[in-house]
Structure 1
Amino acid sequence: MLGVGVGFGVAAALAWGMGDFAGGLAAKRIGAMAVAAGSQLAGLALLGLLVVALHPEAPSAATVLLGAAGGVCGGLGLAALYRALAIGNMGIVSALSGVGSAAIPLAVGVGLQGDVLGPFQVLGIGCALVAVAAASGATTRGLGRESLLLAGLAALGFGLWFVLLDLASEQNRLWALVASRGTAATLIGIVALPRIGRVALRTNAGLIVTAGVADVSANGLVVLAFALIPVGVVASVAGLYPLATMLMARVVLHEAVPRLGMVAIVVAIAGIVLISVGG
């Protein structure tokens, strides 16, 4: 089951990387909050369709509260990330947020929840963190103070989201995601929607919907992985999403991948293999 859980984590990283790429492009055009609000609503609509189709049993209060708390953290993290992507270097911003979002649940899982990691998993997680750090060094332009602070806020928000959704999804995975996404969409929507022009949303609808669907798909994959492997391992593998963003920039925008970026990709693959091998 370890390999399946890691597979879910890798798929989540690819989905998040695609979502960040699409959201980052849209944020440069119409602003971070507009993209965050639109993508949250798109993801919530997808979850609503799943609820109608699957008819899950009513959630417990703990699932709703923990999911909502995760939504607050994740929503703030997403808004901070899109703002940082809009004003800073996409590769560095994604990488810094990826390192932090992996480190927080890893520390909580090992330090507070008693997760036990085998030697190969420890080496693999180390490779994953090194790969994301290398991805941040693979670009030539630095970050301003605002971008750095926003990337740190995004990392904190995403890291806490991992921890809270891991707890919320123990009883009902789908309702945990609905509570999280519904809370985030409501908070961001209240702030952003009154100031968003309809024309701006329509002209960038493709990117916004792509970002929202990719994000909620990654959330679902991560929640599935929680049932199979420790939260710290999930976060470390899924935290490789900056590499997917880098590859998307290469394919779509024809940006060159620096040597250090190639090193990051190779180290990331090694990390995934080591984590899959397990204890």
Structure 2
Amino acid sequence: MVTALALVTAVAFGVADFLGGAVSRRSTALKTLALSAPMGLLVVAVAALLAGGAPAPGPAAWGFLGGLSGGIGLITFYRALARGPMNVVAPVSALASAVLPVGVGVLRGERLDETALLGVLLCLAAIGLVSMEKGEAAEPSGGTSLLRWALDSGPLMALVSGSCFGIFFILLKAAGDGAGLWPIASARVGTLTVVSTALLIALRTRGGDRGPWVSGRTLIGLALLSGILDSGANALYYLAVQDGLLSLVTVLTSLYPAITVLLARIAYSERLRAVQRVGMAMAVAGVALVTLG
């Protein structure tokens, strides 16, 4: 059951990231999140009311802190998707988001049997292989500031976002399972806080968040759907990680780039290299071993 929840979470994250990245290419990361983040909060709040349970200060605090980290991760991730190939950005972010929780899980004494451990290692290797890009990242030119180069570097922003997502995963595990889905609702409040603050700062800053607002039924609909899927994935991950090991659930969840990469292949003709195909095959093998373990 835990494995199934984690894999469904990966699919939901993968589709949400693809949709959010696609909208960001027509607008900006912040303006895309200005639509998707409130929708995500609304969906989770309704789900929390229906699921029962009572809000508690401790779990709510962990959820809110996780949401702050997740909000920063989403902003940098959507920016990365808008500036770099999706078949590179998504896996780099996923690898970073998997390594931190796995390390924390091991330090906390989590132990997997040999079959499941081999599956986890294969999944980690698969994420790395899928992330390989031909060529080297562009260096900042003489007329480009280091900060501007960093903000416009898809792989670097992906690394930052992955680290933030890893912290988010760890904090949701720490929230415990005694308060229904309210920790997820708190997390979405934290995410919306970060997005709103960043958008206000960008709009008030000279030369801030330039680019058109999300407009048109199709783009608005995709942005809203991205928020729904992302919040749904948060809830599924939370349910899975409370019943399973942090290291195992996070690695399976971090396979979401496979979905983003495949969708990008279809929509943007972003071709998969041979090493990336090997990574996909290793991911399938890794999941199979984890399931058997």
Q: Does 1:59 align with 2:55?
A: yes
Matched, 1:165 2:172: yes
Deviations 1:196-254 (A, max 9, x none): 89x83332212211211111111111111113320111110010111110111233344
Structure 1 residue aligned with 2:128:
133
Distance (whole Å) between structure 2 residues aligned to residue 225 and residue 57 of structure 1 = 17
Aligned equivalent of 1:202:
215
Return the match for 1:185 from 169, 178, 192.
192
Gaps of 5+ in 2: 139-149, 204-208
Q: Distance in 2 between matches of 1:92 and 1:130?
A: 15
* Cα distance in 2 for residues equivalent to 1:44 and 1:270: 35
1:83 aligns to what? 79
- Structure 1 segment 1-279 matched on structure 2, within 5 A: 4-54=1-51, 56-111=52-107, 113-137=108-132, 139-140=133-134, 142-144=136-138, 145=150, 146-192=153-199, 195=203, 200-203=213-216, 204-278=219-293
Alpha-carbon offset, residue 57 of structure 1? 3.2
Q: Secondary structure in 2 aligned to 1:102?
A: helix
Separation in 2, partners of 1:141, 1:219: 34
- Measured against aligned partners, the alpha-carbon deviations of 1:141-191 in whole angstroms (never above 9, x if no partner) come to 654453233112111100000110011142224101000011111221233
Contact 2:122–2:282 under 8 Å retained in 1 = yes
Stretches of structure 1 that go unaligned for 5 or more consecutive residues are: none
Distance 1:173 1:97 in 2: 29
8 A Cα contact 1:12 1:222, kept in partner:
yes
- Report runs of 4+ in structure 1 exceeding 6 Å deviation: none
Counterparts of 2:287 and 2:22, CA distance in 1: 28
The whole-number CA distance in structure 2 between the counterparts of 1:225 and 1:250 is: 29
Find the aligned partners of 2:225 and 2:137 in 1 and give their Cα distance: 26
Q: How many residues are treated as equivalent by the alignment? A: 272
Amino acid at match of 2:122: C
**With structure 2 as the length reference, what TM-score do the two structures score?**
0.86
CA shift, 1:24, in A, is 0.7
Q: Which has the higher helix share?
A: 1
Counterpart code for 1:6: T
Tell me the amino acid that sits aligned with residue 227 of structure 1: Q
Contact 1:177/1:219 (8 A) holds in 2: yes
Between the aligned partners of 1:12 and 1:52, the Cα distance in structure 2 is 21
- Cα distance in 2 for partners of 1:39, 1:8 equals 23
The CA RMSD over aligned residues, in Å, is 2.0
Aligned-pair identity in percent equals 30
